[in-house]
Structure 1
Amino acid sequence: MTVSLHSPGRINKLQLKNRLILAPMQQHKGTPEGHATDYHVQHYGRRAADVGLVIIESTAVSSEGRLYQDDIGIYSDAHIEDLGKVVKAVHARGARIFIQLSHGGRKSHPLPDERLLAPSSIAFNAEYRLPFAASEAELELLIDRYRKAALRSQAAGFDGIELHAAHGYLLHQFLSPVTNRRTDSYGGSVNNRIRFVHRVTAAVREAVGSDYPVQIRVSASDYDPAGLLPLQVADFIAQLEPLIDAVHVSSGGITPVRPLDVHPGYQIPYAAVVKSKTALPVIAVGGIHGSALAERVVAEQLADFVAIGRPMLEEPDFAGQLLDRKPSPIL
């Protein structure tokens, strides 16, 4: 049977009405305390009608891990109610919704009295502070914060969780030899560099149970000679496979270096490599803005789902256009 964008999909036991996903993108509309607002309710609700799944923007598991001070967070029980309103708005449009749990590591913008934490004391660039190499005690605390954030995510009504291990943020920083220069059990060998990510993922899985969807977003290339390559990232996924339900494949972000050629679907080959090495559902993202290309991705099984980002910012009904539907009514 040929799969199309219209075909239902599944992540763990969660049924999705089609193969289109709203990709997570920062909105910079959170309160100083990290709360979601009516803006988020309207933004995500408006774009939910024609996609099977909404993944909301990077949501901090810890105050010092916010990417920017206008980001949202889930590091306090006080955040649950406002995020729950976002969930209800998306469910009202017939879509499912995941939260993206994140810590920026060395790419965070903590308050002046908060520690900037990373695997190693290496700054991203001159615009960022020099981070502290997190102690093992601090890593234990961070693992617990991911665990608590996962429980809060369930309490808010989210249908699943995406762990952000891409774009140069904390989990990615542990995986990449570019940013992980540790000499303890969390650095050096491949098995050591995945240890923190594995422990975070295991803590989240234990907290939410076996039937609750947990997926991970990865950067399949660091665009750096010393960095990660797609097959290496596929090997990481193989180690995490017993704990996760899907993989969202992106690229870059570990350094300021950007890909030289950003053409339509430029990241699809990365998703295809990962898919060739795992039985898990794979999400492709990155410049997949035409219906023919999007259909090809799922029909040829290069990936199982297609995530759309920037076009949905400019045109909330973009997913419907890919599905050849009429614009959704504005609520």
Structure 2
Amino acid sequence: MTRTLNDPITIGGIPLKNRLIMAPLQQYKGTPEAFAAAHHIEHYGRRAKHVGLIVLESTAVSSNGRLWANDIGIYTDRHVEALRKVTDAVHAHNTPVFIQLSHGGRKSSPEVTTTLVAPSAIAFDEQYGMPQELSAEGIHNIIQEYRMAAKRSKEAGFDGIELHAAHGFLIHQFLSPLSNKRTDAYGGSSENRARFLKEVLAAVRGEVGRNYPVIVRISATDYSEGGLIPEEWARMLKPLESELDAIHVSTGGIIPVQPSDVYTAYQLPHAAAIKQHFKIPVIAVGQIYTRSLADRILEDGLADVIAIGRPLLEDPDYAEGMLTVREVSV
């Protein structure tokens, strides 16, 4: 059966009117206390009309894990009301919205972080500085922060959660052997390095239940020898598949190394490699900006959903064009 960008799909019981979603991109418009502002209400509401799903920008689960000094958070009950105004604006267009929950770990903003933490005392770079290795108690405390953030996410009206396990932030730091040199139950083997994600996911599920969508965003490659590759991701995520509802495939971020070339659909081969191991939907992202290319990816079964970000920053109606224009060639 032919699949196109306009075809509906269900993720974790939530029906999407089409297979084009808005990827999470930071707005750098949060208040100093990490509250969402009027900008977020207008920004996401304006872009919700045509896409099948919006994934909100990275939202901190901890005051000590914000990615930037002007990002948004959900680490207190006081953050809920402002975020509810954002979900209301998106829901006004009958579009679901997920929240991306994150902790920066060793890549938390130096401007607002009191104690930089990571699975191992290995610095990302000189700008961020040397993190402290998390103790077992510290790990437990952060897992509880994820749990409470999940609870607040439901209260704020979000339809689902995306766990940010990509781009070199804390969950990714535990997963990658480049940043995790622990010798306890959270380090060493693939199974041990995946333990933090497994326990975060269990804590989140304990709050939201199994019928509430939870997806994960991953960096399928670390762009470095000895780093993560799709095959190892498959080994780590396969035991968690029954508790996940989709996998959003990005790349990089664990070390200060960029891909050698960025081109149209440059991350697609990694999404396709992940997809062959899983039955749950796989989301592809990375310069997939034309209708013909998106349809070809879906038709060939390389991914199930297409995410776009930057074009929507420049043109809030970009999705409408992708969903209505059929092109002859890429």
| Fold match by TM threshold 0.5 | yes
Measure, in 2, the Cα distance between the counterparts of 1:200 and 1:74: 16
Measure, in 2, the Cα distance between the counterparts of 1:52 and 1:205: 24
Deviation at 1:110, TM superposition (A): 4.8
2:328 aligns to what?
none
1:127 aligns to what?
127
1:259 aligns to what?
259
Q: Deviations over 1:4-33 (max 9, x none)?
A: 111011111110100000000111100010
1:109 aligns to what?
109
**Is this contact kept in 2: 1:283–1:307, CA < 8 A?**
yes
Measure, in 2, the Cα distance between the counterparts of 1:112 and 1:94: 36
Measure, in 2, the Cα distance between the counterparts of 1:31 and 1:243: 34
1:171 paired with 2:171, answer yes
Counterpart AA for 2:160: G
Measure, in 2, the Cα distance between the counterparts of 1:67 and 1:42: 22
**Is this contact kept in 1: 2:66–2:112, CA < 8 A?**
no
1:180 paired with 2:180, answer yes
Give the TM-score of the pair, scaled to structure 2: 0.97
Q: Deviations over 1:168-203 (max 9, x none)?
A: 000000000000011111011111100111000111
Q: Deviations over 1:203-244 (max 9, x none)?
A: 101210011000000000000101001111122220211211
2:205 aligns to what?
205
Deviation at 1:113, TM superposition (A): 6.9
Counterpart AA for 1:277: H
2:195 aligns to what?
195
1:70 paired with 2:78, answer no
1:8 aligns to what?
8
Q: Deviations over 1:138-173 (max 9, x none)?
A: 100000000000000000000000000000000000
Report the RMSD for the aligned CA atoms in angstroms: 1.0
**Is this contact kept in 2: 1:64–1:111, CA < 8 A?**
no
Measure, in 1, the Cα distance between the counterparts of 2:113 and 2:314: 37
Counterpart AA for 2:150: A
Measure, in 2, the Cα distance between the counterparts of 1:209 and 1:192: 25
Measure, in 1, the Cα distance between the counterparts of 2:242 and 2:322: 34
Structure 1 stretches (4+) deviating beyond 6 angstroms? none
Deviation at 1:94, TM superposition (A): 2.2
% identical aligned pairs: 56
**Is this contact kept in 2: 1:64–1:110, CA < 8 A?**
no
Count of residues paired in the alignment:
325
Distance 1:316 1:112, change over 3 A: closer
Measure, in 2, the Cα distance between the counterparts of 1:56 and 1:14: 16
2:161 aligns to what?
161
**Is this contact kept in 2: 1:234–1:273, CA < 8 A?**
no
Measure, in 1, the Cα distance between the counterparts of 2:226 and 2:287: 26
1:99 paired with 2:99, answer yes
More deviation, 256-265/230-239? 230-239
Measure, in 2, the Cα distance between the counterparts of 1:110 and 1:62: 14
1:329 aligns to what?
none
Give the TM-score of the pair, scaled to structure 1: 0.96
